[in-house]
Structure 1
């Protein structure tokens, strides 16, 4: 059996939920033209309150302060990599870093992920590939979502791949093309509600389970204009602050009722997309991201899908580190000069190879 070179790469991901930095050390190779992976080691580094606040509020920084923080955060990322690699004595070909999105306004032709690649490379002494979204945006695309290339190459056996981070996004094949887009809200609204009560999150959805539906809020959330837009479409933190937070604040209900309502809303929107796009009597829906660990959310979703689609949960490692794994793959594809951004997903003029390579200073 023909096997290609095995790449030893370290994928880094920091998502909109701001819970921390995910590191996934992966071996990635091709066997008979099929990409394979093995997640060897993982680590999640929680953000302290200071870093979380800085990341959350970086959207409001003046340009010079934002660029200073871009460099500081890049150095911080490099230090986390260096500690992880030396603690476990890992052999790494290169680091593939997503960075942390501060500005995502593709309609203006901009998307910005902080975490300077040069500072990162210098701080860990390893080749670093980052800035995966810029080329796609330069070609008129949304620069998001990027994970669908990994859904196709690693998880193509499932009819749908759903990721529940701060935002819910989905990807699937339709008429030979990968289609993917942000459905809308996921953990962002749930964490916002609990954080108003000084709780980081609702473990397992236990609080949500004990609540009741606030029908007025449910109606408002389901009426959000974003849900009616055609895809390709993607959404960011700015949208959440402007369009969603005011409705949640105005609802003035108990935390449990707000959480319960938000979960019903999230599941109704996801189920609508799956059921509208399913092409067979019973589909498989692979669910990853933090939301997959919310038992009440998973049960509610399965109820709304009925027997038309089955919710499938992979190993906890894949649930928690799938995005970091796929950024590791994106780095490999960039290294090989292969396509890693799909225009069928982002709306760009053409498929492209995204990512910039930084060499550490010696």
Structure 2
């Protein structure tokens, strides 16, 4: 049975709450509905930053000492307001919504200590919005020894299967770090970080010309990549490691850079991201037939050109060209995961989070 689900996601950037509607049975995506956004206020953001600092002392996932309890109330209210505004603006009757997927705000994630904490009172949210809420998606995976992330790959698989294409599909998300989901039918689902995404390039562009990023890759298009530096950089041992593997945004920040002009540096670091993504292909069971690029990197035309060159003969397309929404994807994913959680279907797998066996997850709060 198809469910109408609303997904809610607030990420580590602390910018606000993404909202998205999706129709799904937890296996297939029948329809992608509208999306919305509720920005955190400056006061809410300051409170969350304070809670992040205090959360480093937590040793129990249900503890809410000090300002963490206050931050949890703020998060809950912000999500309730986000749902209310979204349903009103899109004229969606709440009784027509079957379930809400509520990720909450992560304040601590220490999988090695089997501890992950997302704040937000799901019971209070369910009562405020009059819709059942599925929450606490990551806890079961972490308790079983998994990394508790990434959780979007199972949604990537549903999107990829909706394309109806033959052969493996690779979904590449290029944010600060690049990560991939490899999908081959129902049986093979692999996910991992591949290396730098936009972080190194953005930092270089900001330092050299004072811009936040290389819009559409125009600066890189004027330069020439330093092939000697690239060849050496791609010898980093991370690139030869099999999945699952993960990175921090700044893991490559200490690398020695060449004496480049702004354009040549942008070209080199763009090529580094593309080369790092291409380096995962020999480690996959089979080369992908189709590659879908999402995240900020999909808007970088030079990045897209370099990826097409390095990933040939695979077909390389942006997510937007397929009607997917890069901006709403994580919120959509948690609506999808809520439906899966209701039905007891796995949310994470050995080759996505490193857990020993496929794990279900999520708890249900009723209004």
- Verify same fold: TM over 0.5: yes
CA contact (8 A) 1:76 1:120 kept: no
For structure 1, the 5+ residue unaligned runs are none
Deviation at 1:183, TM superposition (A): 1.6
Determine helix, strand or coil for the equivalent of 2:28: strand
Alignment partners' CA distance in 2, 1:252 and 1:198: 18
Deviation at 1:146, TM superposition (A): 1.4
Aligned mate of 1:28, from 6, 11, 24: 24
Residues 120/260 of structure 1: CA separation in 2 closer, same or farther (3 Å cut): farther
Determine helix, strand or coil for the equivalent of 1:244: coil
Question: Which stretch has the larger CA shift, 160-169 or 262-271?
Answer: 160-169
Q: Aligned runs of 1:92-111 on 2, under 5 Å? A: 92-111=97-116
For structure 2, the 5+ residue unaligned runs are 58-65
Deviation at 1:41, TM superposition (A): 0.7
Q: Aligned runs of 1:150-165 on 2, under 5 Å? A: 150-156=155-161, 157=165, 158-165=168-175
Partner residue, 2:135: 130
Alignment partners' CA distance in 2, 1:305 and 1:270: 9
Deviation at 1:185, TM superposition (A): 2.3
CA contact (8 A) 2:160 2:183 kept: no
CA contact (8 A) 1:292 1:319 kept: no
Aligned mate of 1:305, from 290, 307, 311: 311
Residues 231/341 of structure 1: CA separation in 2 closer, same or farther (3 Å cut): same
Name the TM-score, length of structure 1 as normaliser: 0.79
Aligned residue pair count: 346
Q: Aligned runs of 1:1-362 on 2, under 5 Å? A: 4=1, 6-15=2-11, 21-29=17-25, 35-45=28-38, 59-62=52-55, 63=57, 64-66=66-68, 68-91=70-93, 92-118=97-123, 120-156=125-161, 157=165, 158-173=168-183, 176-193=187-204, 199-213=211-225, 218=230, 222=234, 224-235=236-247, 239-241=248-250, 243-247=251-255, 256-277=263-284, 279=286, 283-307=289-313, 309-315=314-320, 317-320=323-326, 321-360=328-367
CA contact (8 A) 1:145 1:234 kept: no
Deviation at 1:332, TM superposition (A): 0.3
Instruction: Give me the CA root mean square deviation.
Output: 3.5
Partner residue, 2:61: none
Alignment partners' CA distance in 1, 2:201 and 2:348: 30
CA contact (8 A) 1:21 1:47 kept: yes
Alignment partners' CA distance in 2, 1:135 and 1:59: 22
Deviation at 1:58, TM superposition (A): 6.1
